[in-house]
Amino acid sequence: MAEITAAMVKELREKTGAGMMDCKKALVETNGDMDAAVDFLREKGLSAAAKKAGRIAAEGLVEAYIHMGGRIGVLVEVNCETDFVAKTDEFKELAKDIAMHIAASQPQYVSREEIPEEVLEHERKIFRAMAENEGKPAHIIDKIVDGRIEKFMQDVCLVDQPFVKNPDQTVGELLNEKVAKIGEKISVRRFVRYERGEGMEKREDDFAAEVMAQMGK
């Protein structure tokens, strides 16, 4: 298996306009073959979805989700290009699913581009200190830190998180799938999540299980 580097992912993203995670997956699936990865994205409709990214998506809706008993509240704005699509049952269901996902998975940002550099730098310092305290060899510490930063971004960014109703795909992949099917740009613009008594001790796995049960899993 060929090593998939950040430079390769960047090159494929520049060629296709597809998302970073989609590009990485395409390279893994094609063992690092750049041309084959381009074809892979085209076949999946992901490159076509990326071409729609430049369009203006000013329609859509704001979906509200209140967890049982009023413990969690989520507001999320999901955009599309036309009012016609915004009124379809499929789009409404998508917005509802994303709101419930936010309630269960607690993302902090929509995408990696929203993470402030000072936040990443703070995490890098912590991960470096952790690696040093673990006695990791100096020559691999940078690679360890990069790997942990990657995991951190996957954990806190909505589009990088495994979708709660189908953990085999990310929320970003779900959105791209809908773009390819519907034929319009679809994006999550912003969200806010409130939790009653936030900061008080509570087992998060118990809460996630409650949300999944309500989603019919």
AA letter at 180: A
In CATH, which of 1.10.286.20, 3.30.530.20, 3.30.70.360, 3.20.20.220 is domain 116-154? 1.10.286.20
Q: What are the contacts of 176-179 at 24+ separation with CB within 8 A?
A: 176/18, 176/19, 176/22, 176/45, 176/46, 176/49, 176/50, 177/45, 178/90, 178/91, 178/94, 179/45, 179/48, 179/49, 179/52
Residue 215 makes CB contacts below 8 A (sequence gap 6+) with 97, 100, 164, 165
Q: What is the pTM of this model?
A: 0.67
pLDDT in tens, 82-120: 999 999 999 999 999 999 999 999 999 999 999 999 999
Categorize the per-residue pLDDT at 212 as very low, low, confident or very high, splitting at 50, 70 and 90. low
Query: What is the domain partition of the chain in residue ranges?
Result: 6-52, 57-108+162-214, 116-154
DSSP structure class, residue 191: E
- Percentage of the chain modeled with pLDDT above 90: 54
Range 11-33 burial, b when 16+ CB lie within 10 A, else e:
ebbeebbbbbbbbbbbbeebeee
Query: Do the Cβ atoms of 69 and 211 come closer than 8 Å?
Result: no
Q: For residue 179, give both structure tokens.
A: 């773009």
In CATH, which of 3.30.450.40, 2.40.420.20, 1.10.8.10, 3.30.43.10 is domain 6-52? 1.10.8.10
Categorize the per-residue pLDDT at 11 as very low, low, confident or very high, splitting at 50, 70 and 90. confident
Q: Are the folds of 6-52 and 57-108+162-214 the same?
A: no
At residue 158, the pLDDT reads 97
In CATH, which of 3.30.479.20, 3.40.640.10, 1.10.275.10, 3.40.50.620 is domain 57-108+162-214? 3.30.479.20
pLDDT in tens, 110-168: 999 999 999 999 999 999 999 999 999 989 999 999 999 999 999 999 999 999 999 98
